[in-house]
Amino acid sequence: MYLKEGRSLLLSLRNSRKSLPFVLNTNPHLNLDPQNERSHPILKESQVLTRLENEPSISIALDYFKSIANSKSFKHTVLTYRTMIRRLGDEGNVDGIQYLLHQMKLEGLHCNPDLFVNVINSFVKVGLSEQALKLFYRIDEFGCKPTVKMYNLLLDALLSENRFEMVSSTYRIMKADRVEPNVYTYNILLKAMCKNNRVDAARKLLLQMPDKGCDPDVVSYTTVISCMCNLGKVDEAKELSTRFQPSVPMYNALINGFCKEERIQEAMKLLNQMVEDGVPPNVITYSTVISSLADRGNVELALAVFCKMFVRNCTPNLHTFSSLIKGYFAYGRCHGALDVWNRMISEGFEPNFVVYNTLLHGLASRGRMEEAISVFNTMGRYGWSANITTYGTLIDGFAKSGDLIGSSETWNKMINSGCVPNVVVYTSMVDALCRNSMFNEAHCLIESMAAENCLPNTVTFNVFIKHLACRGRTEWAVRVLDGMGRYGCSPNATTYNELLVGVLKSEGVKQGIDLFKEMEERGIMPNLLTYNSILHSVSRAGMVDIALQLIGKMVVLGNKPDAFTFNMVIDAYSRQGNVDTAIRVMEGLSSGGKWSPDSVAYTNILWGICNEFGVEKASSGLEKMVESGVFPNVATWNVLVRGLFTSLDHVGSVSLFGDIISDNG
């Protein structure tokens, strides 16, 4: 390369004892004959600049630059050096830039600030911010003085590489050089503090900026407010925002913060406040609110906000449509999702890859595989090549539908397209095989994963263990659990939960309790699902004391009981014949505000009353159930009917039961 050759020549000349004129050109084809030089016409700076600017090939431009370097036809200027340095910078050739800087110094040409800014930019573009900083420290050698623009470029580059300590030290040098920071400087410092989790320091600096002679701008306070919201300090961020002029980015940061904390009502109030303050919400504002509402299942309100966008002449974007589609699918409302899709197409929006995959995932997750395949084919026709996510979505959809052929055909299509399966896709295929009871094939596929350098993870084994346990193959499932370590995997609470369900079902309560103890011994903390699974079995077995011990343990360990947990306790007392205690437990929990009894709780109580006292005594419990706003369901009536036919006073009970039904509809 010419630059490297030139640099070698420079070194050899500097080490030579003879005083020789320096020759920049290293092109062996250039004729340096003095008589030939005299024949060269005198070039103007504008001619050289035009040639350097318009030459498509950087190497030819550099050759031309070198060829006239020492000729009497032209002497390079700061402007020609700047042009050549800029072109080298566009190519990322920092070696060439350093070389030309050295030539400028030898020729006594001083760099002006704009030229040095170009040099710094060139280093930063190729990720050499530290080298740019070292060169900057030598700026005096090139006859140039540092400017705030140079410092800002360096600070921004160091920040982009998360070199927070170097940002601080460079800023201190900036102050020592008596270079006054501007608002851009402070914005970099604020961002650095926020990225380094020093939001309190950033807030303090933001409020001090006017005293330092630099008023903050929208970027300044939006940076701090966004960071506060991301750290959960939304209320403090809102209070801070009142000190500044309202702006769209500031409101967007606050609305996003409230949405993340699921405080959607406050986010909606801010949306309305924006309009009142004369700050028109933009597509980001609306899309944030719509996405939050859709994620929480409130698609009607999300659609209302969507319509308000049109009323206020704010055009939605693809993210807006994608959020609505995803929200409808998440709550099983496929028709609504497809209506949004059709509206998006009718409005002239061309779907991108993300929107296609959102629609594809929604259809596949709901088992609508024919429509999903249709979308997949449409993607191909419009030039969108399927990736691993697309194929994985289809394979998972076919697997959950029990369609092994569909999963296998999609798998083969993926392989033939050159797309390499990842652990997620392998796991979906294991699921497909297991759903068709092809456990040996599923085990072989897991072995193949390891051979293809795609190690199975805990989720892969959880899927395998779940299906084995559900089919009563608990011994095999236990062997799989014990062998996970060979693949670098460890079982988690979900692994044991899947196995526990199968063990309790096929082997009984004692074996389930033993597995529960083993889980604890291995240091794996049971979760709510674990406790509820074991509680269901011990309660049905009438083992009230163990059930109460388990509940006490789960509370101590921080697992908050849910409605299922409480219902299991009530069921256990009722089955034990201790209905009075079951009623006291239900009333105590209800009065304490910890839980509102549901139809399951009342049905369990009525079952105990019927068994212990007969159906006649159950009428008062049924009345109280209705008075509490909980209405009997099929299971409730089934309990009462069984109680009716086991009653000693059959005829009287029939009369009573007829009255109960007529009174309660």
pTM of the model: 0.68
Phi/psi of residue 631, nearest 5 degrees = -100, 145
In a domain, 21, yes or no: yes
The pLDDT assigned to 463 comes to 96
How many Å separate Cα 49 from the centre of its chain? 49
In a domain, 65, yes or no: yes
In a domain, 30, yes or no: yes
pLDDT tens, residue by residue, 216-251: 999 999 999 999 999 989 999 999 998 988 899 999
The pLDDT assigned to 207 comes to 92
Under the banding of pLDDT at 50, 70 and 90, the label for residue 21 is very low
User: What are the C-alpha distances in Å from 112 to residues 77, 104, 156, 157, 326?
Assistant: 12, 11, 21, 21, 55
Q: How many domains does the chain have?
A: 1
The pLDDT assigned to 330 comes to 86
In a domain, 373, yes or no: no
Give yes or no for a contact between 599 and 633, defined as CB atoms under 8 angstroms apart: yes
In a domain, 105, yes or no: yes
Contacts within 8 Å (CB) and 24+ apart, 19-24: 21/70, 22/70, 22/106, 23/70, 24/66, 24/69, 24/70, 24/103
In a domain, 46, yes or no: yes
The pLDDT assigned to 655 comes to 42
Domain span at residue 57? 1-109
In a domain, 2, yes or no: yes
- If you average pLDDT over residues 120-144, what whole number do you get? 77
Print the SS3 string covering 340-389. HHHHHHHCCCCCCHHHHHHHHHHHHHCCCHHHHHHHHHHHHHCCCCCCHH
pLDDT over 90, % of the chain: 39
In a domain, 640, yes or no: no
pLDDT tens, residue by residue, 36-69: 444 557 878 788 888 888 888 888 888 788 877 7
Residue type at position 263: R
pLDDT tens, residue by residue, 386-439: 899 999 999 999 999 999 999 999 999 999 999 999 999 999 999 999 999 999
- If you average pLDDT over residues 486-497, what whole number do you get? 92
Phi/psi of residue 581, nearest 5 degrees = -65, -40
Q: Using alpha carbons only, give the angle 51, 7, 151 rounded to the nearest 5 degrees.
A: 75
pLDDT tens, residue by residue, 294-322: 988 888 899 899 988 888 889 899 999 99
